[in-house]
Structure 1
Amino acid sequence: MTTSGAGHDEWCLIESDPGVFTELIRGFGATGVQVEELYSLEPECFENLKPVHGLIFLFKWVADDFSDGSRLTDKAILDELFYAKQVIHNACATQALISILMNCHHGDLKLGQTLADFKEFTRSFDAHLKGLSLSNADQIRAVHNSFARQQVFEFEGKSKKKEKEDAFHFISYIPFAGRLIELDGLKEGPYDLGPIAEGDDWVATARPHIEKRMQKYATGEIHFNLMALVSDQKMVLSRRLAELTAAKPAEQGSAISEEVQLQVEHLKMLIGDEEAKMERYKAENIRRKHNYLPLIVDILSMLAEQGKLVEQYEKAKSKSIQQLKLKKKKKPSGESSS
């Protein structure tokens, strides 16, 4: 049985996609940051994305209490750290994202009124009450549920037993007060993964902990996804461009001026790439949210009137069977179901 989306008190599944998470941030009213997908934790893979404010890790959830650290007990840190217990199904994507936003103190991030008011309102709450408050935050839930899939069919009666689906879960990693902190809403509190050495890149400190979690899964299987919350890349690049163009040409030799001009052109190209990427995200998100049912019904009706519906159905069925035969591995949906 499927319904037409998330109800008033329900939270929908969220796809693990940087465009989706970036739009969630904008919907919450926060600015100055975006989400990027990471294909590796090797330094060269995120060198151009610095500063990284937090990592969001999606993995195949199993019923255990695995963590590569110990429960955070430092009261001074706990008093300043925002941590909300997950008390509602499917909320882990937004909770993982908000956990980073609420604990990021970088000047590029502007929380916006919705999140700033929520943070202040829940400042004295314990983790469970923070979770309850988050699950009942209408505006945050509305933004989250704007990505509910457009499903309008409801099937009644008995059917074959539904195959059990894998469950996926989002957690966050952040640097906080000189420590690497793991924030998992299903646990009783934040976990301390150890100190971040002064001058070290905190992502490098996080790498072995994330790799250890990845190793929990069989070799060759893909059951995880990693994204980073970073500063707005267009904003960062525009700052660099402004710094270069602010230099007085009279103070530079011709060779240096030529080198600067090359850097300027390169930065302009990168800014153009960022603008194109955001336009692509926008188009993809419109498609995700659009209800294609009326179009599908019209197409099916036209095919039926022309006597071609059964023929097209048989072709599609045959193609689907061939694809299933060729598929060797089951790939996760990349959605939260915890």
Structure 2
Amino acid sequence: MSEKHWFPLESNPEVMNNYVQKLGLNVDNFAFTDVYGLDEELLAMVPQPVLAVLMLYPITKENEAESHKDQEDQEKSGQKLPEELYFVKQTIGNACGTIALLHSIANNQNNLKLNDGFWKDYLNTTKNELPENRAKLLEKDDRIEVAHEESANDGQTNKEEHVDTDLHFIAFVEKNGTLYEMDGRKKFPLSRGTTSSSTLLYDTAKLVRSKYMNLNPEQMNFTLVALSAV
């Protein structure tokens, strides 16, 4: 981890949309929206298609152990990731919200409109870089740090409170018919089974239940946001 430590971003679609817009994402056709629950009728309320799903969840010893086992299993299996799957390491403290947004946007560039600005510049510059080098370049770019700070200030959290948190953002994206869990703390993206552009939200909901919620049924701090059609 670097010495940089940002104030946490909230799981708030309005804040997220303002944030990504400042950095050059056109949100006229696709934008971030709340997922109000994992029941079928609530998932059906989210406009389709869904390009990515972000989850904010509590880090616990149960889901950390499960995640570590999954990483080991996939490493031993020698899984090959698609070259076009964009992954960046998280080296800035509390930057997980920004990393999740970045994974959502970077892996859906063909469907999104990027105006001149940070997103276009950064993704063009880093498309052939390793995840660790992408992280270093992210640390050096003042534009995203300033925009993150402004967006964190737009949230409801009292900045006088302790900024260390046990909540963490990850993203889920589809690439070549596979659902990938994108977490900048991990060594690599985790393959989570088959999916499609039309079932990404529903397949993610099943995964969230089985791999996260069922491990910690007493925890209530789960929120999901979708990058979906407007």
Q: TM (normalized to structure 2)? A: 0.81
Give the drift of 1:66.
3.2
2:121 to 117, 121, 126: 117
Aligned: 1:192 with 2:196: no
Give the drift of 1:226.
0.8
Report the CA distance shift for 1:105/1:186 in structure 2 as closer, same or farther (over 3 A). same
- How far apart, in 1, do the equivalents of 2:17 and 2:23 lie? 10
Report how many aligned residue pairs link the two structures: 212
Q: Is the 8 A contact 1:173 1:182 kept in 2?
A: yes
Give the drift of 1:166.
4.8
Partner of 2:174: 175
**Other structure's SS at 1:227 match:** strand
Letter in 1 for 2:80: D
1:101 to 91, 101, 105: 105
- How far apart, in 1, do the equivalents of 2:14 and 2:174 lie? 24
Report the CA distance shift for 1:230/1:187 in structure 2 as closer, same or farther (over 3 A). same
Report the CA distance shift for 1:13/1:152 in structure 2 as closer, same or farther (over 3 A). closer
**Other structure's SS at 2:18 match:** helix
**Other structure's SS at 1:130 match:** helix
2:90 to 83, 86, 89: 86
Partner of 2:17: 22
Letter in 2 for 1:206: T
- How far apart, in 1, do the equivalents of 2:191 and 2:132 lie? 19
Aligned: 1:129 with 2:128: no
Letter in 2 for 1:96: A
- Over the matched positions of the two proteins, sequence identity in percent amounts to 25
- Over the aligned positions, Cα root-mean-square deviation in angstroms equals 2.9
Deviations 1:53-94 (A, max 9, x none): 11000011135253367358324x0x2111000011011001
Give the drift of 1:167.
1.1
- How far apart, in 1, do the equivalents of 2:225 and 2:36 lie? 8
Q: Is the 8 A contact 1:25 1:34 kept in 2?
A: no
Deviations 1:92-141 (A, max 9, x none): 0011011010001453x212232122112111211111112122221111
- Quick check: which one's strand share is greater? 2
Q: Is the 8 A contact 1:12 1:147 kept in 2?
A: no
Deviations 1:148-172 (A, max 9, x none): 449898xxxxxxxx99965110000
Partner of 1:201: 199
Larger radius of gyration: 1
1:73 to 79, 98, 107: 79
**Other structure's SS at 2:43 match:** helix
Partner of 2:151: 147
- How far apart, in 2, do the equivalents of 1:83 and 1:170 lie? 14
**Other structure's SS at 1:56 match:** strand
Q: Which runs of 5+ in 2 are unaligned?
A: none
- How far apart, in 1, do the equivalents of 2:162 and 2:104 lie? 34
- How far apart, in 2, do the equivalents of 1:46 and 1:106 lie? 24
Partner of 2:36: 39
1:211 to 203, 209, 212: 209
Q: Is the 8 A contact 1:101 1:111 kept in 2?
A: no
Q: TM (normalized to structure 1)? A: 0.57
